[in-house]
Amino acid sequence: MLARDDQSDLKRTPLHDLHVALGARVVPFAGYEMPVQYAAGVLKEHLHTRRNAGLFDVSHMGQFVLRARSGAPEDAALALEQLVPQDILALPAGRQRYAQFTNVDGGILDDLMVANFGDHLFLVVNAACKNADEAHLREHLSEACEIEPLSNRALLALQGPKAETVLAKYCAETPAMRFMDAGPRQVAGIECFVSRSGYTGEDGYEISVPSEEAERLARLLLEDGDVLPIGLGARDSLRLEAGLCLYGHDIDSSTTPVEAALEWSVQKSRRAGGQRAGGFLGAETILAQLSDGAPRRRVGLKPEGRAPVREGAPLFADSNSTVEIGTVTSGGFGPTLNAPVAMGYVATPLASIGHRVFAQVRGQRLPLMVAPTPFVPNTYKR
């Protein structure tokens, strides 16, 4: 699942030296040298995050400020609504929302988090897409908005059931935050941006911190016996158990939000009949699919045996058919479940829970059941 890049010209996050000091195995990922695992190994890192708290370096992600040139915060929200099918205008100050940049065909250019910080919007985008996202923002919104990439900030994720207790020692405000609350907070005396969110299905926080303070903050958090550093390997298995999409795998420019089973993220105000229906790139396709359905759907898949079914495996309606009805887009072993799990796309008539499909793996047809996601119940503090 982890993308590999050419070794040349790889960037390093502000925590690179700490990763090396902690014994991380570093691999190329999205143009960066990133830790895939530490001495504990992926399995223990995964289970430790589910039971205690894990600290992830996600500083390779892109961070942007979007500010209306008019000085009116609502103008930045309305401008961004040209590029996403979500209701940004109604997003209250201090709250965050999941969104997608869409193209003219309704495909997903990237998925992102949008937070309302009062006088401006704060965006977090995927590492591999951040340069293209910045160009996209500038092409469409430069006239209405100032677009500021925050290249001088790192991003940490503290995830797991003990994340609240750990972070409370350095920021007394964080226990009162609810899932998707976001805004400036002082953490250990450092001016940070904190959101109660993450990519594991667990309760937790993402902390944007000035680059020069990132290692100090990370070391403080790691002093707690409940916190372990966690690499990309466990991050991937955690998000897969949580049924969360990985851009470039489960979603891309050829998949719409409806096909990807992300229509829950499109508010009524942007749908047909809503106050600000449409008006975003690809609206004709997406609104039609919201009304009439899409030809295929992203679904959870549970292999009936013990063998994992990996990304790229073709799917078939039965054990003998030669007609592909879909593809696995993410797959692996779920340590929490002690069983393999996967996600993929199937033709909509075959997407009902409990439907059996077959994956082609090394010349064999392996049965899988269409299953609800998340595979592991989330523990967000709402």
pLDDT tens for residues 62-114? 999 999 999 999 999 999 999 999 999 999 999 999 999 999 999 999 999 99
Q: Is 316 helix (H, G, I), strand (E, B) or coil?
A: strand
pLDDT at residue 2, rounded to an integer: 46
Q: In one letter, which amino acid is 374?
A: P
Query: Which part of the chain has CATH 3.30.1360.120?
Result: 11-59+152-241
How far is CA 63 from its chain centroid?
14
pLDDT tens for residues 36-45? 999 999 999 9
Confidence check: pLDDT of 3 > 50: no
Give this prediction's pTM: 0.96
CA distance 235 to 238: 5
pLDDT tens for residues 145-163? 999 999 999 999 999 999 9
pLDDT at residue 71, rounded to an integer: 96
- Give, in words, the CATH class of 295-375+378-382: mainly beta
Q: In sequence order, what are the beta bridge partners of 63?
A: 124
For range 354-363, the mean pLDDT: 96
Residue 156 vs residues 39, 57, 111, 207, 228: alpha-carbon distances, Å? 20, 5, 19, 5, 13
Confidence check: pLDDT of 196 > 80: yes
Task: Tally Cβ neighbours within 10 Å of residue 314.
Answer: 15
CA distance 296 to 273: 25
pLDDT at residue 99, rounded to an integer: 99
pLDDT at residue 40, rounded to an integer: 96
Confidence check: pLDDT of 14 > 50: yes
Q: Is 289 helix (H, G, I), strand (E, B) or coil?
A: helix
Q: What is the 8-class DSSP label of residue 24?
A: P
pLDDT band at 6 (very low <50, low <70, confident <90, very high): very low
pLDDT band at 8 (very low <50, low <70, confident <90, very high): low
Query: Which part of the chain has CATH 2.40.30.110?
Result: 295-375+378-382
Q: Is the domain covering 11-59+152-241 a CATH 3.30.1360.120 domain?
A: yes
pLDDT band at 4 (very low <50, low <70, confident <90, very high): very low
CA distance 252 to 340: 24
Q: Evaluate whether 27 touches 36 at the Cβ level (below 8 Å).
A: yes
pLDDT tens for residues 240-298? 999 999 999 999 999 999 999 999 999 999 999 999 999 999 999 999 999 999 999 99
